[in-house]
Amino acid sequence: MALEAALEKLCSDLGHFLDTLTGLETTVTEDQPESGEVVLVGKVSDAITEIESHCRECIDAAESALSAVNHPFDANRLRRSLSGSQVQFQSIAHLLVFDLLTYETISALVGFGAEHGHGWQAWVRAVRLGLEECRSGIRELDRSYLACWEEIAERLFAGPISLHTTNIGQQISAGALDAKGREEAGMT
């Protein structure tokens, strides 16, 4: 895969992940069965909002990395932008894994749903499905970042390829052949 294609895939994967987060945020904040302030719902909502903010920064930096590949190629901007995007991605992964996808958080959500009736149980199922979709999105993004760094390393170690051509021998034209043939036959 070429570097530009790897970066385009990364940007596409980040956009898809942002769409997943937006859907999850809608489920968490707007699809609640009852109104009222619930601390657990607020905690999940705040974490998703923070993840969404990091994701937007990831996308901006990844798009900057992609534009650095185009003419004129800017290796320093590419490295800084991709690195900055990955730092934001690591913040996303950390928030998901250590805040939202922990046993304690999922257990609290399930318990909350069980205590508050069928409507909240359906809401908890929808939130859990959204979180699982985020987990798979994180795995895909992880592979996309790795592919980008592999392409950069390959380009770095392959180095530029230069091709030199030389002509060996002499060039003989049809006219020169006719003149030489006449000389050999003694016709000149």
Q: What is the pLDDT along the chain (188 residues), one digit of tens a residue?
A: 699 999 999 999 999 999 999 999 999 988 887 755 578 888 899 999 999 999 999 999 999 999 999 878 888 999 999 999 999 999 999 999 999 999 999 999 999 888 888 888 999 999 999 999 999 999 999 999 999 999 999 987 875 555 556 666 666 666 666 666 666 666 55
Q: pTM value?
A: 0.78
The pLDDT score that the predictor gives to residue 70 is: 83
Residue 140's CB: how many other CB atoms inside 10 A? 15
Query: Cα(first)–Cα(last) distance of the chain, in Å?
Result: 63
- To the nearest 10°, report the CA torsion of 113, 118, 119, 122: 70
Among all chains, which residue has been given the structure tokens 């999850």?
24
Q: Where are the domains of the chain?
A: 3-184
